[in-house]
Amino acid sequence: MYDTFIGLEIHIQLLTKTKVFCGCSNNYGDEPNTNVCPVCLGYPGTLPILNTDALFMAYQVVGALKCKRAEAAIFERKNYFYPDMPKNYQISQFADPVGINGEVIFPFQGEEHRVRIHDVHLEEDAGKMIHAGDMSLLDYNRAGTPLLEIVTEPDLRSGEETEAFLRYFRTLVRTIGVSRGNMEEGNLRCDANISINTHGAGLGTKVELKNINSSRFVRLALEYEKERQIGIVEAGGSVDQETRLWNENKDITVVMRRKEESKDYRYFPEPDLPPYRPGEDFFRRVVESLPELPLDRQKRMEAAFSLTDEQASYLCEEKARADYFETAVAAGTEAQHLYFWMSGDLAALVNKSGTPLEESRLSPEKLATVLRLLDNGEIHGPIAKKMVALLFEEEHDPEGLIAERGWKALDDTSKILPVVKRAVDANPSAAEQLKQGETKVLGFFMGQVMKETGGRADPETAKALITSYVKGEIV
């Protein structure tokens, strides 16, 4: 038997308005080289100025990961040459990161797992080099945008567990609101390290994996690498300490550089940025700004609203979703009923329109009203569906809408019966079939009735009337 040890180095792009050391817009999707200035292009004589919003977000993550925070932000220069890095050193942190010794508790296969955090440090991102034919093009819009690196201890045991951890980590940073946390968009990136060893023997020889650009690739690359390393050991060999790249076309890892080629970054304190002490007031604001962590909220909501693990997990995956749920419950909606609508119709509308839940016109209060009207029997299911879809897109008052469109439920037998009679009389052969016991024809008549009443007829009443009329029980 073998033990597997997996650790991650996660980079998240912070959602600040401006870059971390200059006033340029933090918007790297724009026309290339438009969000640049002498500072982020590394012009001679320019100096960095720390963006305290970026530092605030860094300390929010430090708090959420339960790290010991540094009282001063101390930056160092990490020296290496690359064309996308304007100064050919990266302003980063080394000896004194903003946070150390934290932990993340995350759900995996119905249990709570723990990953220790080694450190959290703030740094600047590089630009982007794009190869086009025989040319290399450089876009520096991303150069100098704030990055937060989170380094875990090797506490993960499988590709599957790592994938679950990353999914939770994404929810965590989105819940705090510091990053979009999307691996496919590159605002959450991660490198992994993995080693295997015979059971109980402790850490093995570490291999670093790069170029894993989605959580699925993380799982696949780690599972591949685990099997590769076990294969080497089983065959009597030993694993080389090296950095390997995930090849997503071939689903394998290949050597990028060996240990002896590892770089010496020659860190030293950044003389342009003296230690910055944010002070007690700043740290108090950080603590006050932190929302309830997703797993805590999930557990609380499970208990408070009698939700299943899966239901609460779905709701807490996005802070906006959980907020929506709790607001609607507070407005008087029954929890299971609400969950049914949120995970069904509402989720479909969000998917179809691309409009995030919190930006739709359908406020949780309005949804609560629609569901109350449904519960009271003032409208029927099909109308409720129609209303939800309409209110998602357009601004209306739900009760006004019912009056305006004449959507009020039709329960009155005297009003439904004439419609039933017209439908049955117009379709004598279908009526005969139903009379003979072919109940599927009932659906056809229901369709006719609903069509004519605009979906307002009470379904149970309509069904009963159709059956009775066909059988001649009423005339």
Partner 1 sequence: MPFAVKDNIAVKGLPLSCGSKMLDTLSSPYSATAVEKLQQAGAVVVGKTNLDEFGMGSSCDNSALGTTNNPWDVARVAGGSSGGSAAVVAAGMVPFALGSDTGGSIRQPAAFCGTYGLKPSYGVVSRFGLVAYASSLETIGIISLDTQLLRIVFDTMRGQDPKDQSSRPFSPKASEKRQGEKPRIGVIADIEGLAPAMESAYRERLDLIRKKGYEIVEIELPMLEYVVPAYYTIASAEASANLARYAGIRYGHRTDWADEHGELTEKSRDEGFGDEVKLRILLGTYVLRSGFKDQYYLRAQKIRTLLRNEILSAFQKVDQILSPVFPTTAFPHGDAGLDQFQQKLADKFTATANLAAIPALAFPAGQSEGLPFGLQLLGPEFSEHKLIDTASAFTELWEPKTAPGFREWR
The reply to whether 138 sits near partner 1 by the rule CB under 8 A is yes
Q: Which of 8, 14, 26, 48 binds partner 1 (CB under 8 A)?
A: 48
The nearer residue to partner 1, 141 or 448, going by C-beta atoms, is 141
The reply to whether 77 sits near partner 1 by the rule CB under 8 A is yes
Q: Which of 160, 228, 240, 231 is nearest to 204 (CA)?
A: 240
Going by the DSSP 8-state scheme, the letter that residue 143 receives in this structure is: T
Is 11 in a helix, a strand, or coil?
A: strand
The reply to whether 146 sits near partner 1 by the rule CB under 8 A is no
- # of chain residues touching partner 1 (CB under 8 A): 31
The reply to whether 245 sits near partner 1 by the rule CB under 8 A is no
The reply to whether 49 sits near partner 1 by the rule CB under 8 A is yes
Q: What are phi and psi of 190, to 5 degrees?
A: -150, 145
Q: Are 124 and 39 in contact (CB under 8 A)?
A: no
Q: What are phi and psi of 192, to 5 degrees?
A: -120, 150
The reply to whether 81 sits near partner 1 by the rule CB under 8 A is yes
The nearer residue to partner 1, 221 or 273, going by C-beta atoms, is 273
User: Segment contacting partner 1 (CB under 8 A): 192-200, 262-270, 286-294, 306-314?
Assistant: 262-270
The nearer residue to partner 1, 47 or 203, going by C-beta atoms, is 47
- Smallest distance from partner 1 to CB 60, Å: 22
The nearer residue to partner 1, 90 or 298, going by C-beta atoms, is 90
Q: What are phi and psi of 75, to 5 degrees?
A: -110, 150
* CA distance linking residue 117 with residue 199, whole number of Å: 24
Q: Which of 50, 115, 194, 322 binds partner 1 (CB under 8 A)?
A: 50
User: Segment contacting partner 1 (CB under 8 A): 81-89, 281-289, 347-355, 458-466?
Assistant: 81-89
97-136 residues in contact with partner 1 (CB under 8 A) are: 129, 136
- Smallest distance from partner 1 to CB 401, Å: 54
* CA distance linking residue 435 with residue 144, whole number of Å: 77
Q: Which residue has the tokens 């995956």?
A: 317
* CA distance linking residue 5 with residue 154, whole number of Å: 5
Going by the DSSP 8-state scheme, the letter that residue 388 receives in this structure is: H
Q: Which of 178, 147, 171 is nearest to 61 (CA)?
A: 178
Q: Which residue has the tokens 């968009």?
A: 185
- The residue ranges that bind partner 1 (CB under 8 A) are 38, 41-50, 77, 79, 81, 83, 86-89, 129, 136, 138, 264, 266-268, 271-274, 276
